[in-house]
Structures are given as structure tokens and as C-alpha cells.
Structure 1
Amino acid sequence: MHEKIEKLRGLKLLFVEDEEDLLSIISDALTKLQANFLTANNGIEALAILKENPDIDAIITDINMPLMNGLDMIKNIIDQGFDIPIIIMSAHTEIEYITKAEEYGVNEYLLKPFDFIKFIELITSMEIKKYVNR
């Protein structure tokens, strides 16, 4: 697990989640792991952060959020030409969300409640290209 945490520390992550309690728990744990991460409360905020931080290596997002949901945010990211791995974390397993996400090229999911061990396993097993002139 130590090697995986070291790999995690080498990534710049963006967590997009509107539930403040969950975002606080995730932030606390990532801070303790000395991870490099940013947070956003909705898709609009996430897009603004991404513009300011084009070196983000992966995005972990909820689907149901106010102002702009995760699927609309993913479509915007693709439309803007970003090629960033995205993990959907959601309590929703409805086939329509999964189908739409797969149409956008998202194949990685974490079901809520958020499980840090599963997250670390998933993020460190993904092929993530480090930021290179995006």
C-alpha cells in the first residue's frame, strides 16, 4: 500500500462533490496522505479550476450536483479538448447515468459511501498520463 500512496502523491487530483461533509472527510484524508488535490462543489466551479490548473491528472466527480451536474461537466471537459481520466463517484447506479458516462469515455466508478482503499486501488491502477502540454 505504501507504493500506491507514493504514486497517489505524484498525482494532482480534482474532487468535485456538493456534499460538504463528504468533501471534508475526503479532504482530511487526502491531506493526511500528503496528496496534491483541489476541490470543487459543482461542475461550474470544477471547470473554472481546470482552466486555472491544466496540469490536473485526474478528476473524481459526483453526478448529481447543483448548477452543473457531473455528466454536463464531463461533456464540457471533452468539448474543451481536455483528455483527463475521470472517475465517477455516486450513489446512483441507474443505467442511464452509466450509459451516458460510458458514451463520454468514462468507465471508472466508485459507489458511495466513499471507500478510500478502493479509491487508492483504482486511481493507482489507472493509466494516467502526467501533464504534458495540455
Structure 2
Amino acid sequence: MYRLIIIDDEEEIRDGLSNYFPWDDMGYEVTAAFDNGIAAINYLNTNPVDVILSDIKMPMMDGIELASYVRDHYPSIKVIFLSGHKEFEYARQALQYGVREYIVKPTKFNELVSCFSKLKDELDQEQIVNETSEEESETIIEETYHDNIIKDINQYIHNNITTATLEEAALIVHMSPQHLSKFYAKYADENFSSYLLKVRMEKSKELLKDYKYKTYEISEMVGYQNAKNFTRAFKKYYSMTPRQFRLNKGLIK
């Protein structure tokens, strides 16, 4: 239901519109009715409203002033004007204040139905767009949050290639090791251990290109205290031993 308020200084018209038009069937709920614009503004300042149906000529604050205020403070609210025949041009000028449509008094049932049916379609479409935008925004925020965590973990691995562990990474991002393991696999599309191995292997390959480093030294530099374990891991990853890699690169004879 869209929330509607009615403003008209003529009690008969105000009560008739509020109580006898089938607003519920059209998707609207009349939440309040007022005889002047100031009372309506006081209501707007504390209550959500989707649509205003307002007379133009009223004491204290007329419809034009009300429309101006609504445009400046509540631009999402739709304003529909009621107007007597003699105020027709006056109503047309009010369109500059964002008034969506005017209905000429005496109000005709079919005209009200047509006007508010079209308005409901418009409100429905806006709601769909807004909900989609909110969902997209939430998705972007969530993805950014996940991406930032993955980046922090990856940066930790690169900065601590020798000593990096799942347990220490978990402390950094305030997760349990089990949770982090599942989180990383889901949002990085690979396991923590797989990425750590990749970083160590790529770094070892880079170091092997520098002939001044011994294999056991490189082993320690990338987190392997046992050179045999390093050689075994390197061979499994690249299908060649560190020595074969250097031979292929012409770094040893």
C-alpha cells in the first residue's frame, strides 16, 4: 500500500475523498487528511508519505507553497493537485514545482481512477528500480568486503612467504582457521595452501635464476627448512627439479 495524505480546506470534499473513494482497492492507504498545508508539513516531518493529493487555494499555506516545500525537502513524494476551473492556469504553472498532475473540481470518479492508476504503475516501477539498486549496492559492498579480506590475506602471504600459516592469517582477519579456510576457498576460488604453494614456487623459480643462491638457501627463503622437501615440492609443481630448471636456463653447466 502506498501512503496517501489528502489536503483540502473544504470539509465535505476532504471527507468524501478520504472515506468514500476505494483507495484500498487501488493500492493506497489514506493515512491522514488536513485542511491546510502547514498541518500537512508538520505531519510530513514525522511520518513517511508516498503521495499527496492537495487543493491549491487554502488558508495559511496554499498548494503552490506546499508543493515547493515538498520538492525541496521530500522530492520522492508525488504531488497531485485539485483545482477549480478558474484556477486552471494557476495549476499548470505549479508543474514547475514537480506536481505530477492536476485534477479539475468537481472531481470525477473515473478521472481519479485513471490518474491514480497511472501513478501506482509509476510507483511500482520506481520501487522495482530502487529495490534492484539496493540489492546491487549490497552485492557490491559485500563483494568489496570479501575482496578486501582476500587481498589482505594474499598480501600477508607475500610479505611472510617464509613463515606464513593459515593460523596466523586467521588471526589477522579475525576468523578461526576453519572459517578462513572455507572463506578463502569460496571467494578466492582456490585453497589457502594452494595459493601459498604457488607464491613459494614462483618465488623460488625467480630466485633460482640468480646463480649466487644455493638450492638449500632458496629452500629456506621460501619456507622449507628441509631442502629435500623443497626439491620434491618444486619437482611436483614444475615437473622438474631445481637443478634441471637451472640447466634449462643455462645457469649451470
Give your verdict on TM over 0.5: yes
| Aligned residue in 2 for 1:106 | 99
| Aligned residue in 2 for 1:5 | none
Evaluate the alpha carbon distance shift between residue 81 and residue 36 of structure 1 in structure 2; reply closer, same or farther with a 3 A threshold: closer
Cα distance per residue 1:72-97 (max 9 Å; x no partner): 01111122243211110110444244
Q: Structure 2 length normalisation: TM-score?
A: 0.43
Evaluate the alpha carbon distance shift between residue 81 and residue 26 of structure 1 in structure 2; reply closer, same or farther with a 3 A threshold: closer
Cα distance per residue 1:1-47 (max 9 Å; x no partner): xxxxxxxxx221111100001111112214x6545112111110111
| Aligned residue in 2 for 1:6 | none
| Aligned residue in 2 for 1:14 | 5
Q: Structure 1 length normalisation: TM-score?
A: 0.78
- What are the ranges of 5 or more consecutive residues in structure 2 without an aligned counterpart? 131-253
Aligned letter for 1:86?
Answer: V
| Aligned residue in 1 for 2:239 | none
Question: Equivalences for 1:1-134 in 2 at 5 Å?
Answer: 10-30=1-21, 33-34=23-24, 35-37=28-30, 38-54=32-48, 56-91=49-84, 92-99=86-93, 101-126=94-119, 127-128=122-123, 129-130=126-127
* Structure number with higher strand proportion: 1
- What are the ranges of 5 or more consecutive residues in structure 1 without an aligned counterpart? 1-9
Number of equivalenced pairs: 119
- Provide the identity percentage: 29
Query: Which gives a bigger RCO, structure 1 or 2 (Cα 8 Å, sep 6+)?
Result: 1
Give the secondary structure class of the aligned counterpart of 1:52.
coil
Matched-pair contact (CA < 8 Å) for 2:83–2:91: no
Runs of 4+ in 1 over 3 A off after TM superposition: 32-35
- Higher alpha-carbon Rg: 2
Aligned letter for 2:60?
Answer: L
